[in-house]
Amino acid sequence: MIKAKPLSYALGAELTSIDMREALGEQDIQLIQETWHDQHVIVLRNQDANPEDILRFARSFGSLDNHEATPFYRMEGYPHLMEITTQPFNGRPSETRNVGRNWHSDYSYTGRPAAASVLYCVKPAPIGGDTMFCNMVRAYETLTDKMRRIVDDLYSVYDISLTKGFYERDASEVAETKRLNPPIAHPSVRVHPGSGKKALYVSERVSHFHGMTSEESRPIIDFLCSHATKHENVYRHQWRAGDLVCWDNRTTMHVALTDFDQSEVRHMLRATIIGEESGFLVG
Ligand SMILES: O=C(O)CCC(=O)C(=O)O
Ligand SMILES: [Fe+2]
């Protein structure tokens, strides 16, 4: 019997009695989904999963992205898995050593932002290298009525080049990634298709609001990001080998912290569940 234990005040639940090496039953999938809708981040500990197990688990919750928007970071032989590592891979220095270094929601710079992400820890950093998550439903609900009415009408323009450390990557890959992902506007407030909850959809990768200048937008973006990431709205995950963390990208943001020795191994595998089509290109 699967049990859920809350992990912080604002979001996150640990689920026990799941073995990723086995296929999930219908009832289990439903229970996990309910916890997911309620808590936005779910954590499984002490797993002994291989790439096939991660893919099978993730596919129980939707279709997987083959990561065409960032095609250079796919695991050899597994296009539905992204390898996030400090170590060389596919015979080259890692281009994913600095993934996720500012608050964001995955694939928000695409026309099909990720519904959810499933991240498996093969090897954690020896010390540090935690990931933090914040609750964007709560961020929306704790705004004043007036501010909610303002953000209800906004469209966030997402720009992949605002990904922290983006220009430290290989120059030709940077150019190709920008070509594949031109700036795109999404509603700044989205309704979750499963739970019906409204969530704020802004991040540190938003350049401005559509129809507004960057000078006008910047103070509002900064306010919303700092409001959303207040301590009481955050769960901080300290990784152990065999952890699986699944987050809903429609109701959370996350950031991968840099407080570890990046010459040491930190190795993760990520599957990404495709979300609904959304947004319009702003040119
Ligand atoms: O490495 C991490 O902890 C998370 C990186 C990230 O942003 C992601 O996998 O989407
Ligand atoms: Fe991410």
Amino acid letter for position 39? Q
Q: Whose CA is nearest to atom 6 of ligand 1?
A: 100
150 pLDDT band, cuts 50/70/90, is very high
Q: Are 14 and 5 in contact (CB under 8 A)?
A: yes
In this structure, the number of other CB atoms found within 10 A of the CB of residue 165 comes to 13
211 pLDDT band, cuts 50/70/90, is very high
Q: Whose CA is nearest to atom 1 of ligand 1?
A: 256
At residue 90, the pLDDT reads: 67
- What is the position in ligand 1's atom list of the atom closest to the CA of 119? 9
d(CA 3, CA 36): 13
Q: Write the pLDDT tens digit of every residue in 102-146.
A: 999 999 999 999 999 999 999 999 999 999 999 999 999 999 999
Q: Write the pLDDT tens digit of every residue in 20-60.
A: 999 999 999 999 999 999 999 999 999 999 999 999 999 99
At residue 89, the pLDDT reads: 73
Residues with CB under 6 A from ligand 1: 84, 99-100, 106, 117, 119, 131, 254, 256, 268, 270
Residue 91 has pLDDT above 80, yes or no: no
Q: Write the pLDDT tens digit of every residue in 61-73.
A: 999 999 999 988 8
Residue 232 has pLDDT above 90, yes or no: yes
d(CA 56, CA 82): 15
The verdict on pTM exceeding 0.85 is: yes
In this structure, the number of other CB atoms found within 10 A of the CB of residue 44 comes to 23
194 pLDDT band, cuts 50/70/90, is very high
Sheet containing 13-16: order of strands: 3-6, 13-16, 41-44, 244-248, 114-123, 267-274, 78-85, 74-75
Listed in order, strand segments (DSSP E) in 148-266 are: 155-158, 184-187, 189-191, 198-200, 206-209, 234-237, 244-248, 252-256
86-to-39, 68, 73, 98, 105 alpha-carbon distances in Å: 30, 21, 12, 8, 21
At residue 157, the pLDDT reads: 98
Walk me through the domains of the chain, giving residue ranges and CATH numbers.
3-281 (3.60.130.10)
At residue 73, the pLDDT reads: 86
- What is the position in ligand 1's atom list of the atom closest to the CA of 101? 7
Which ligand places an atom closest to the C-alpha of 272?
Answer: 1
- What is the position in ligand 1's atom list of the atom closest to the CA of 84? 1
CA nearest 97: which of 271, 273, 260?
260
Contacts of 44 (CB under 8 A, 6+ apart): 14, 15, 18, 20, 243, 244, 245, 246
